Chain A
Amino acid sequence: MRLLLVELSRLRSRRAVVLMLLAAFLLTAFLAGSRIYETRPVSAADRASAQAQADAEAQQPGYQRDVARCEKRPQRYLGRQGVAADCEEMLLPQAEWYLYRTDLSVAAERQNTGLAVAFLAVAVTLVAGATFAGADWSSGSMSNQLLFEPRRSRVWLAKAGAVALAAFLVTAVVLSLFWLTLYLAAASRGIPTGATVQVDLRWTIARTALLAALAALGSYALTMLLRHTVGTLAMVFGYAVVGQAVVAAIPVEGTGRWALGNNVIAWIRDGTRYYDPSLVCRPGSGKCVQYGRLSFEQGAVYLGATVLVVVLLSLLLFRRRDIP
């Protein structure tokens, strides 16, 4: 416990980590703010502006020509029931066409901005986990720490605990603030958010915070193994991007199941449906659907097992290898 507190203090004192978390907060606040602004209610001024745009557009010769032709032959333009009186309304630009805004929907945001914020939080905690461990190796202070606490497993676990705990808490706070902001904005506009959506949001926050903790733990463990922040980030990037391309190139059906991105989304969204070009359409099988399904459990097993392998390898080698 004492070591855990020391490592939490060390983590909190790292300027790079603090700046990254601050950036995550600001970016999340920006995303929430921009969604609230983009979905703001239409004002009278907005309506007047849209009407002016529609009126100006309606004066274009093309529109006027179409209206004139429609009035001569309404049924050709508007179908059998068409009458000349409807031509202007049906063919000329309307004010609504220039009011693109949709209402703020907390439920809909789960699939859009919500997912972006979740990815952002996981990415930031992943980098923070790597840089936290990498700084100890690059400065050489790891050896100094082991001169005070030679039980390497304890040192490793204390640092891992600090990284995972901080990642969980920070992500939980960031996401909670994000969803609370959207929820309150929607409520202030009289847009209800259903109880089911609220429960689902709580679970989404919990799952994402857990994923962030796992990502931070994994990147920390990998950095303790490679002893280099950049090496870790390069490997994670390679695994996520190059690995996904390699997996896609393997001539085996259903490789999308093993793509990192699909598993991450399955974890965050509690299951996902993903496009998988490796799925083969067999003749006579009816309608061909090249989509696969991944449950949260499947994603959790995939990500959990990957991190577990890295963690065990990292801990084992940290106990055995010489410390520079």
Chain B
Amino acid sequence: MSTPVIEAVGLRKEFRTRRGRHIVAVHDLDLSVPAGGVHGFLGPNGSGKTTTIRMLLGLARASKGEMRLFGEPVPRRLPAVMNRIGAVVEQPKFTPTFTGRKNLLLLSRSIGASTTSVDAALERVGLSGRDKDRFKGYSLGMKQRLAIAATLVKNPDLLILDEPTNGLDPAGIRDIRTTIRELGESGVTVLLSSHILAEVQQVCESVSIIGNGRLLASGSVRDLVGGSTTSASRVVVDAPDRATEHLRAAGFTVAEDDGALRVEGAPAPEEITRLLAEHDLFVSELSPVRRDLESVFLQLTKSDTLGTTEEPE
């Protein structure tokens, strides 16, 4: 088995607020991201996603635990691997009075990258026509694109993206998702931190879900979702109250579900239509309930209200 590109063991981040409260943002987190493909990093707001990323990238110090990138212990050996890593952490942060191009040129020169790589990166994110505009005049979407362009300047082996589609219009979101997918397919490992579950499900092959700074689940999206469907069916019928009565009498579990009935326990969907038809109840809609990442995520994180935990002294 190949070495994980990202590995964290017992990672912990504690800090004290100005009022002296002791906060644990990341709680003995174990994380492993295999090489290649797009890996989702999911968690509610304040669950410790960004803090974990910042620790991996050397922007924040871990209180405890070990981290490795490309097998190298970080932050100690971060300089050895940083040129292989592109990252966007939180909002795009550039010098507002410089042009987009100037911002990228300064960053690229600091690692000895060529001007051509800057031009190529700007071209790839669709900013080459606006690269001479000042960063402060960019829309949020353009800022996000510039941040992604900055990651591409390095031609990275690992791309860490923290909410990369924030503020983008639908076309921009589609473009960025396509870029992420292409990068994943080309062998680049992408860690995509997002709270947009549909995005993660569309783009990622594997996912890690954290809550309260702890790892709640990790694995391939397919495994986590547990197949494409459940045994439940969504039924729309004229008289839901009577239908509920008859279905329960037959031993099925019935729950109201947004104007329809969610029926569980039926061996097959046709059993439901047959039973209801016998009682002169006719189904206008019947569909299998698909289990998705959202339901898995909500189930795993339902106790996670505020994300970070506060520990007693």
Contacts and interface: CB of A to CB of B under 8 A. Distances in A.
Interface of A: 2-3, 5-6, 9-10, 13-15, 135-136, 139-151, 320, 322-323
B93 A141 contact: yes
Contacts of A139: 93-96
Interface string B68-83: 0000000100110010
A9 B60 CA distance: 28
B61 interface: yes
A13 B59 contact: no
B109 A147 contact: no
Contacts of A141: 93-95, 103
25 contacts: A2-B110, A2-B112, A6-B109, A6-B110, A10-B106, A15-B97, A135-B95, A136-B95, A139-B93, A140-B91, A141-B93, A141-B103, A143-B89, A144-B93, A144-B94, A146-B59, A147-B82, A148-B82, A148-B111, A148-B154, A149-B111, A150-B75, A150-B82, A322-B59, A322-B61
B171 to A, nearest CB: 26
B57 interface: yes
A154 B111 CA distance: 12
Most buried by A among B54, B75, B79, B107: B107
Given A13-B102, A139-B95, A150 B58 contact: yes
A146 B132 CA distance: 24
Nearest to B77: A150
Contacts of B98: 13
Most buried by B among A2, A142, A143, A146: A143
Contact of A146 (B58, B94, B102, B109): B58
A6 B106 contact: yes
A141 B93 CA distance: 5
A3 B109 CA distance: 8
Contacts of B60: 322-323
A144 B150 contact: yes
Nearest to A10: B106
A14 B98 CA distance: 8
B87 interface: yes
Contacts of A147: 57, 59, 82, 85, 87, 89
Interface of B: 54, 57-61, 75, 78-79, 82, 85, 87, 89, 91, 93-98, 102-103, 106-112, 150, 154
Contacts of B107: 144-145, 148
Contacts of B111: 148-149
Interface majority SS (helix, strand, loop, mixed), chain A: helix
Most buried by A among B57, B59, B87, B111: B59
Nearest to B135: A139
Contacts of A146: 57-59
Contact of A148 (B54, B97, B110): B110
Nearest to A151: B79
Contacts of B82: 147-150
Given A141-B103, A322-B59, 16 more contacts: A2-B112, A5-B109, A10-B95, A141-B94, A142-B93, A146-B57, A146-B59, A147-B57, A147-B89, A148-B154, A149-B110, A150-B78, A150-B79, A150-B82, A322-B60, A323-B59
Contacts of B75: 150
A6 B108 CA distance: 9
Contacts of B58: 146, 150
A304 to B, nearest CB: 30
Most buried by A among B103, B106, B110, B112: B110
A3 to B, nearest CB: 6
A168 to B, nearest CB: 22
B166 to A, nearest CB: 15
Contact of A2 (B61, B91, B103, B109): B109
Contacts of B59: 143, 146-147, 322-323
A151 B79 CA distance: 7
A146 B87 CA distance: 11
Contacts of A323: 54, 59-60
Given A143-B89, A151-B79, A320 B61 contact: yes
B203 to A, nearest CB: 22
Nearest to B98: A13
A128 to B, nearest CB: 15
A149 B61 CA distance: 16
Contact of A9 (B57, B109, B154): B109
